[in-house]
Amino acid sequence: LIRDEMTIPGLLGEAFMNFEEMNITFDPTYKYKVSSDKYSKSECPAWTDRVTWKVKGDQKQQTKLRPIVYGRAELRSSEHRPVYAVFEMMPGNSPRANDLISNAVDKPIPNI
């Protein structure tokens, strides 16, 4: 990941400023041969599918967002392997954060 195109600009302060990402411990997510576990020879394997997040500065102390799991799903129907992340969110004293969590929790998860 030293030459990762998303990490380098962030380190240089050119992009993704103040965004966070958990450590990547999974294999590259792109480019696979469809329905296969083999990388395509046409492109260099890369981590093109990512989960990043940003908590606004004024809400950072009020909302505790703790990453739990970061990984990739072994679905083979595309040239990508999708990634997923699981978070624990503990609202603080922010009424807005409490409303967001309540609204998200009260909604059923859609069938995909």
Provide the pLDDT for residue 85: 93
pTM metric for this prediction: 0.68
Q: What is the pLDDT of residues 21-73, one digit of tens each?
A: 899 998 888 888 888 888 888 888 888 888 988 877 666 555 677 889 999 99
- Higher confidence at residue 91 or residue 78? 78
The sign of the dihedral angle between the CA atoms of 70, 73, 74, 79 is negative
The sign of the dihedral angle between the CA atoms of 52, 56, 61, 62 is negative
| Share above pLDDT 90 across residues of the chain, in percent, rounded to a whole number | 8
- The label of the residue with tokens 């009020």 reads 62
